[in-house]
Copies of this chain bind each other. A is one copy, B any other.
Amino acid sequence: MVVQAPYLLFIGDVHDTLAAKTAQGVLEWRPERCLGQYRLRGCQVDLGIEDLSIGEAVNAGAKTFVIGAVNAGGVLKENWIDVIIEAIKAGLDVASGLHARLRDEPSIAEAADRHSIQIHELRHSNRVFKTGQGARRPGKRLLTVGTDCSVGKKYSALALERDMRHAGYTVEFCATGQTGILIAGRGVALDAVVSDFISGAAEWLTPATEPDHWQIVEGQGSLFHPSFAGVTLGLLHGAQPDAFVVCHEPSRTAMRGVQAPLPTIGKVIELTLALGQLTNPGIKCVGVCINTQSLDEGPARELLGATAAEHHLPCIDPMRFGTAPVVEEISRQFGGQVR
């Protein structure tokens, strides 16, 4: 799945930034892919980039109209349909991470076919994958895993990609979820793949490459989440990571969406090492990423220090204090440039 840039980011008539988080994530990590924003009357969020009409965006070279707003249930809102059709008529592809399929709206499907544009339904996979093979392949891979869902696995991967590149590594972010695909412009929404092909899809996403090239793979779910551990394990086996970091959110009191206790960071390290050895006997943990935004700076630094001491691993908040200790650990364990 390849989504052509640059994008016109559509955020509809959302009332808070949380509802525009897809667009915000793309803009934060890949501002060069974002030409402008398109807002409906009543929208109370401003991404801080230029408001463009569809015509202006097309004239400026836009290629894809990105649905950057989310809502409960992931439905297609009635008042979005006309503007999506206008974008299609102007020749833009459309990318959507909604649960609802845009093509289930006949007027959108008809316009897309008539104007020969692509609709990227990021949550729905039509692609046929092979089953995973599990064979070792050249290149190096780092996977972000977590104590739970939504603990910063995507952002940790993106921060490590940025900083490893800066340190002189050749790196590539490999997206496994909807927002990640919009950020990278390609990827596989693993949760939408038929279960027989989870690890095969992960292998397709992270193919053989140069021996010193790093693929930084966005993690999904958690080995300890009763809803999604199967996806997490299929990704772990398919990505066969050489290195992983554990992501954690210290204010979480239970697993997201279910009544299950959070595992400790130590348990996640232990189980990831045990299970990951099936397809990469050399798998190593290279650090812990903690989202400390619920803490003041003092307690945040204390928590990072204590966690680092407990696990004898670098422990960072990649969004707050940078990733240097983990990048240095990667260099120590696997070699490669640190400028």
Contact = CB atoms under 8 A, between A and B. Distances in A.
Given A191-B196, A196-B191, A278-B224, A135 B229 contact: no
Nearest to A130: B227
Interface string A147-176: 000000000000000000000000000000
Contact of A230 (B192, B230, B259, B260): B230
Nearest to A135: B259
A195 B190 contact: yes
B199 A278 contact: no
A79 B132 CA distance: 33
Contacts of A258: 132-135
Contacts of A131: 227-228, 257
Contacts of A235: 230
Q: How many copies does the complex hold?
A: 2
A181 interface: no
A199 B135 CA distance: 27
B229 A233 contact: yes
A226 interface: yes
A102 to B, nearest CB: 18
Contacts of A248: none
A12 B155 CA distance: 54
A112 B198 CA distance: 32
Contacts of A132: 226-228, 258
Contacts of A194: 191-195
A192 B196 contact: yes
A132 B278 CA distance: 26
A234 interface: yes
A331 interface: no
A200 interface: yes
A17 interface: no
Contact of A195 (B135, B231, B257, B271): B231
Contacts of A231: 195-196, 198, 230, 234
B234 A230 contact: yes
Nearest to A195: B195
A230 B233 contact: yes
A237 interface: yes
A252 to B, nearest CB: 16
A308 to B, nearest CB: 27
A170 B122 CA distance: 45
B198 A226 contact: no
Given A131-B228, A193-B194, 6 more contacts: A132-B227, A191-B195, A194-B195, A196-B231, A224-B278, A230-B237
User: Which 10 pairs across A and B sit closest by C-beta, in order of nearness?
Assistant: A134-B226, A230-B234, A191-B196, A132-B227, A230-B230, A195-B195, A131-B227, A198-B230, A230-B233, A226-B237
